[in-house]
Amino acid sequence: MSEKVILAYSGGLDTTAIIPWLKENFGYEVVCACIDCGQEEELDHLEERAKASGAAKLYIEDVTDEFCDDFIMPCVEAGAVYEHKYLLGTSMARPVIAKKLVEIARKEGATAICHGATGKGNDQIRFELGIKALAPDLKIIAPWRMPEVWKMNSREEEVEYCKAHGIDLPFSMGKGYSRDRNLWHISHEGLELEDPANEPNYDELLVLGTTPQKAPDKETEVTMTFEAGVPKSINGKEMKVSDIIRELNKLGGENGIGIIDIVENRVVGMKSRGVYETPGGTILMEAHDQLEELILDRETMEMKKKLGSQFAQIVYEGKWFTPLREAIQAFVESTQKYVTGEVKFKLYKGNIIKAGTTSPYSLYNASLASFTTGDLYDHQDASGFITLFGLPLKVRAMKMQEIEKNQK
């Protein structure tokens, strides 16, 4: 009886060609697993395609809500943004995919997991670190890193390989953008984007929305509520997190929100240029920040920003299943206890414009912040504070004056 391998299957050309390749070179029984994180129409006709390519079975696991609740929201609450721009759309999805691949491998009694990530990208690291952390006994097969066995080096060669194995599938020989999509975002790489000197061809590229220039010349008003850091409603309608993101994607896409063009530093050491569409995610993170700034004290906010940056790097590098991620997330969760309230804003041509924020836990005190003297604050108290706060500066300046005087 043949050993089983679980193939992380997207239905694209790479993973379709891998099915007969695994059978031909290793004699595996191939069980395909498509982990649905909100890929939408990309899942159409997957079962027929997998079976036609020689797969024994196909799992389609809808993990959208788990993805939103257990992976997206910790990143939102942490304010995790990689290199100031990237909202981790692909990075956040990989650990939940790895988790489900391991679960399916255990269920099927498989001895290996195979993925189609290339040897130049970040995803190979994210998949494999997740698998190693959850199932160190399972073998990992990465065809693109096996040139002695994997002989296909182009899209054309993969198409010809499929045809030679009797697989007639609707893949064109032309080259398009390399995309990754889930509920949170869609990424675009390739074609003109391979040269940072080129402007993106947004008319051909965008999927989730439009550019700010082509967005409606009118504001879209939005009101959101949060409880303990988690979004609960949009414009008075309560929804689960996944549906809130779907609604924000629609509103954000229509108004040109969340389009970034970035050259990022990959884990493997090279720079990579891509365009990301994250309309709903951009709004959600901004709304969360807008509420949080009312509630967190200065020192907690400063520490949270530092740890949020580190959290983003941990997620980007595929280290989700680590004690450090758990520890930082525990800190972040402790800061979210009182992040409850209402956030209002307007969407207009790529902009998110504040329109008022309220919270029963707001630390903003109008009498303190005003220019008038109140019971809690006496202007004269600032004199002693400044004297002590600035004492190190004054002492150093006095010493420098003394040194300068002695040198004359």
- pLDDT per residue as tens digits for the range 39-84: 877 677 788 889 989 999 999 999 999 999 999 999 999 999 999 9
Helix (H) or strand (E) holding 18: helix 13-26
Same domain as 236, residue 270: yes
14 is catalytic: yes
Does residue 114 belong to any structural domain of this protein?
A: yes
- CA nearest neighbour of 300 among 256, 249, 334: 334
Does residue 324 belong to any structural domain of this protein?
A: no
Does residue 393 belong to any structural domain of this protein?
A: yes
What are the CA-CA distances from residue 232 to residues 241, 307, 349, 381 (Å)?
A: 7, 25, 25, 42
Q: Exactly one of 10, 36, 53, 94 is catalytic; which is it?
A: 94
Does residue 200 belong to any structural domain of this protein?
A: yes
- pLDDT per residue as tens digits for the range 195-249: 999 999 999 999 999 999 999 999 999 999 999 999 999 999 999 999 999 999 9
Alpha-carbon distance 332 to 75, whole Å?
9
Choosing from 151, 175, 199, the residue where a domain stops is: 175
Same domain as 261, residue 118: no
Q: Are 148 and 50 in contact (CB under 8 A)?
A: no
Q: Exactly one of 36, 49, 91, 123 is catalytic; which is it?
A: 123
266 is catalytic: no
Alpha-carbon distance 395 to 193, whole Å?
55
What is the token pair recorded at 126?
């994210």
94 is catalytic: yes
- pLDDT per residue as tens digits for the range 135-184: 999 999 999 999 999 999 888 899 899 999 998 777 655 678 999 999 99
Q: Are 355 and 221 in contact (CB under 8 A)?
A: yes
Same domain as 351, residue 235: yes
Residues whose CB is less than 8 angstroms from the CB of residue 342 and which lie 6 or more positions away in sequence, other chains included:
223, 224, 225, 226, 357, 358, 359
Cα three-residue angle 117-38-45, rounded to 5 degrees: 75
If one counts the domains in the chain, the total is 3
Q: Exactly one of 14, 69, 70, 243 is catalytic; which is it?
A: 14
Same domain as 132, residue 201: no
Residues whose CB is less than 8 angstroms from the CB of residue 299 and which lie 6 or more positions away in sequence, other chains included:
none
Cα three-residue angle 350-356-362, rounded to 5 degrees: 125
Alpha-carbon distance 17 to 341, whole Å?
51
Choosing from 137, 155, 175, the residue where a domain stops is: 175
Q: What type of residue sits at position 272?
A: S
Does residue 302 belong to any structural domain of this protein?
A: no
Q: How many CB atoms lie within 10 A of CB 284?
A: 26
Alpha-carbon distance 47 to 59, whole Å?
9
Per DSSP, what are the bridge partners of residue 61? 35
- Give strand ranges (E) for 37-175: 57-62, 112-114, 139-141
Q: Give, rounded to a whole angstrom, the gap between the first and last alpha carbons of the chain.
A: 93
Residue 381 pLDDT exceeds 80: yes
Alpha-carbon distance 52 to 17, whole Å?
11
Same domain as 117, residue 14: yes
- pLDDT per residue as tens digits for the range 74-107: 999 999 999 999 999 999 999 999 999 999 999 9
- At 251, is the pLDDT very low, low, confident or very high (cuts 50, 70, 90)? very high
Choosing from 175, 202, 228, the residue where a domain stops is: 175
Does residue 261 belong to any structural domain of this protein?
A: yes
- pLDDT per residue as tens digits for the range 12-26: 889 999 999 999 999
Q: Exactly one of 69, 70, 155, 178 is catalytic; which is it?
A: 178
Where in the sequence is the domain holding 383, given as residue range(s)? 374-406
- pLDDT per residue as tens digits for the range 322-378: 999 999 999 999 999 999 999 999 999 999 999 999 999 999 987 666 656 566 777
Alpha helix positions (H), 233-297: 241-254, 279-295
CATH code, domain with 349: 3.90.1260.10
Q: What's the mean pLDDT when you consider all of the chain?
A: 94
154 is catalytic: no
